[in-house]
Chain A
């Protein structure tokens, strides 16, 4: 009896506030926009009985999805999000790997402190961390002032409100997500394997490439998913640093909903975004489960 209550409480919470909203999104993505409140039709009329139910399902169609395929804006936005997500995941991996490697090779008594230094930005506000780049990247900003002062450039570079600023923002804010799984994979690595490789005549670089890198594979996979998946739906970074030049699907969804008030199209955009993300999400969870079993 008590067990049933314990199961039902979180279960029903998630069904009502996670699963049902989801079904509503799918339903509205199949509806037509209308000038009413709520701004879509049909709405389910249970009082009309069976006739109401059939007319409700009869009125649902795939018009919004057809509309998405005809308008180039959406294609471009999905592709551009995909491109930005792939490139910034790769750059984040390149930046994070040496940091995680350095942490794992640091003296043992330093490691908790280093770990806390990586986690600390993760606890402080995401919005503020993105915002902090605005003053640095602006035309009259600190980076340009510095470069002008050194004499590398003679005219300020335009970085803010371009895709470059978005890449910098993404790599910066998601870096801890990449460093942490890499660190936990590298820290577990048995260093005697490296000594064995060097004894067998490997150079240090060969030993890294043949031993360390393959053994940190799980960390690399986990880190890449942890960056790639949220970046695909990212809204804050392109909105603050990207200007009107950067097209990302999260931003399109937001504008479709809040500016155009076209809920059915916004829902269709969300459904397709999720369909794109289902594959990496499932792969990620499989990878996590495999790792848990291997450790368990």
Chain B
């Protein structure tokens, strides 16, 4: 077993310290008694209490959660269909345009996407609110889902699908009983990606949201523009905690599933 050289060990330590230090400090200071964020005045959970009494934040969190669930689910359906069509669909009219439209939103700056969607909503006379945020988030999330799912579709053995056809499956049956179970991990990670992108998005949501539907990032942004507040620290710590639990449990379940699959394959 090769050991880490001192150089690599140092760069890893410093690198991860840089990545995690700001977030660790933020979580520590969310338990600070003082209203001044940079002066430690003793341990307290009062800011968490304040947070849960703040109706505006709770409302915004509820809007954000609903938007994220709806848009990531829609995006998963559309994105999986798009990936399937791109990889398995053969040639069709305007395929280059289609794949261009899938990849472009991934690299396009948010301000441009947000601005263009807002101008569309206004010119068709759609009132801005939760619906417009969902439409906007679905549009960029579906592209991420399509990329994740299509990379899985490219790598898997096509002869499995062909075998299903030979055994008399219709294309839909083959998709449901062969393709879908194989690409399922990619579909799930696509959904999770869409979900977190939607939770996190500030710029596009600011363009697409109306005055009655404020999402959590918009709320946080307008609060932190003025300065640092212990309440936002508490809110951020909760969000960081949820993401950490989510990512770790997801990676543990996928790892377990992979180990189980390997055992089954070895057994047969």
Report A260 CB to chain B, min CB distance, Å: 14
Residues from chain B with a CB closer than 8 A to the CB of A95 are 15, 18
Q: Is A88 engaged at the interface, CB distance under 8 Å to the other chain? A: no
A133 touching B38 in the complex, CB below 8 Å, given contacts A6-B81, A236-B203: no
State whether B8 touches A105 (Cβ < 8 A).
Answer: yes
CB distance from A209 to the nearest CB of B (A): 15
Q: Does A273 contact B (CB under 8 A)?
A: yes
Take A17-B120, A125-B199 as given contacts and tell me if A230 and B109 are in contact as well, using a CB distance cutoff of 8 Å.
Answer: yes
Is the beta-carbon distance between A253 and B202 smaller than 8 angstroms? no
The CA-CA distance from A134 to B8 in the complex, in Å, is 30
CB of B115 within 8 A of CB of A239, answer no
A59 CB-CB contact with B under 8 Å: no
* A20 x B115 contact (CB < 8 A): no
Whether B199 lies near A102 (C-beta < 8 A) is no
Contact A250 B111 (CB under 8 A): yes
On whether the beta carbons of B228 and A124 are closer than 8 Å, the reply is: no
- Which residues B65-110 have CB closer than 8 A to chain A? 78-79, 81-82, 84-85, 89, 92, 94, 98, 101-105, 107-110
Question: Which listed segment binds B: A68-76, A147-155, A210-218, A277-285?
Answer: A277-285
A267 at the interface (CB under 8 A from B): yes
Chain A proximity of B96: nearest CB distance (Å) = 12
Q: Are A21 and B117 in contact (CB under 8 A)?
A: yes
- Which partner residue on chain B sits nearest A114 by CB separation? B12
Known: A38-B122, A233-B109. A102 touches B81 (CB 8 A): no
Top-7 shortest CB links A-B: A233-B109, A98-B11, A99-B15, A21-B116, A10-B82, A132-B22, A102-B8
14 additional A-B pairs beyond A24-B119, A126-B202, A284-B107, beta carbons within 8 Å, are A13-B139, A15-B101, A95-B15, A114-B12, A120-B243, A124-B243, A124-B244, A125-B243, A132-B23, A175-B19, A232-B109, A233-B109, A235-B203, A270-B115
